[in-house]
Structure 1
């Protein structure tokens, strides 16, 4: 306004003459830093181990169930083989006469029958039951193969071959086979169905001539094996 005097406020003497205040944070001692880093590393490792344990728990439980808390004999219809017998290097060919490495049978559960190429009525019944038992596993059936081991040189009838399209049929040396699989006292190899685990170990034998009459018991045993190994056994063979 006219006649008025405008001016900035006078600065107080010494207002900007005071030194700035700085807060200095002390640095950790080298020894203290090492201790802190070590603690962080340990915590990180424990967390990682905890995550791994959670992820591995189903597999560990499955191994424990199958190999440690194995069902007692009275709970099984099939007879457990003790000790288990590893699959030997059998001389084998397919029905076309092509050599087959029996090690390729591993990594799957096997439901095995043994019979000569003539395949009498008992042999045909076993082949039928093998297919039915595998199908009864439902979505787990891809974890089991049904196998017919032909233990002589008799040709397999052409009429039988269409029913064997989903089976593995191998002609093996009978003497070598007898060093691996064995029947119950008083019986012959073709009298039984045999179970081989994915590692190639013969581990169970079903009672001779009773599989059809006691089909529900056989299915229960097979289902128990599938459930007990679910954590570590997967469908199909690794490529």
Structure 2
């Protein structure tokens, strides 16, 4: 067979059929593999995503002693510290980080509130509270409220995030990297149509 003859050969009907099937089947197979089998292991969030759970038992009292229900904070993102009234150095650091991370959100900071869930009946330090204007201090009526915050270390070691619908949805690592927390919050605020 000469080169000229080989170049003028037409594909057979069977080759055309296989080519057409390939055009339609290959993209479907690639999409299936991408969705079910070849997911990347890297993720963009720093905090641990938790199963989205609506918070229950939201009745309680504010730091001043008046009745306060957490549902009044719906519509805002909540950074939450859960811990005793005696605020040690780690607790103070968390409250400081929560304050600074909120401020760092610039014009979006009004979409974020900070909450300290006090897990005992002890007295709070007035000097500490003065350092954190706008911090909501709250004692739940039910111990079942605190049990909703999952942790393998003491809950007070984490900062938690509650979405504007009142769902617990994220937990930041112990001694979190502030820049990474800010990055997560920025992404959530940008993507969120609520709160």
Q: Which residue of structure 2 aligns with residue 233 of structure 1?
A: 194
CA distance in 1, matches of 2:131, 2:68: 21
CA distances 1:20-74 after superposition (whole Å, capped 9, x unpaired): xxxxxxxxxxxxxxxxxxxxxxxxxxxxxxxxxxxxxxxxxxxxxxxxxxxx872
Q: Which residue of 2 aligns with 1:222?
A: 185
Which of 54, 63, 68 in structure 2 is aligned with 1:95? Answer: 63
Q: Partner residue of 1:205?
A: 171
Matches within 5 A, 1:24-43: none
Contact 2:119 2:146 in 1 (8 A): no
* Residues matched between the structures, number: 155
Partner of 1:63: none
Determine which of 152, 161, 169 is the counterpart of 2:137: 169
Separation of aligned partners in 1, 2:50 and 2:162: 10
* Deviation (angstroms), 1:173: 4.4
Q: Offset of 1:92 from its aligned partner?
A: 1.2
CA gap 1:228/1:204 in 2 versus in 1, 3 angstroms: same
Matched, 1:191 2:157: yes
**TM-score, length-scaled by structure 1:** 0.61
Q: TM-score, normalised by structure 2?
A: 0.75
Contact 2:82/2:146 (<8 A) preserved = no
Task: State the partner residue of 1:3.
Answer: none
CA distance in 2, matches of 1:196, 1:134: 14
More divergent stretch after superposition (165-174 vs 124-133): 165-174
1:78 match: 47
Deviations 1:85-121 (A, max 9, x none): 1011333111221111121121100011111111111
Gaps of 5+ in 2: 1-40
Q: Which residue matches 1:60? A: none
Which whole-Å CA distance do the structure 1 matches of 2:187 and 2:163 have between them?
13
After superposing on structure 2, the runs of 4+ consecutive aligned residues of structure 1 that deviate more than 6 Å are: none
In structure 1, runs of 5+ residues without a counterpart are 1-71, 235-239
Q: Is 2:116 the counterpart of 1:148?
A: yes
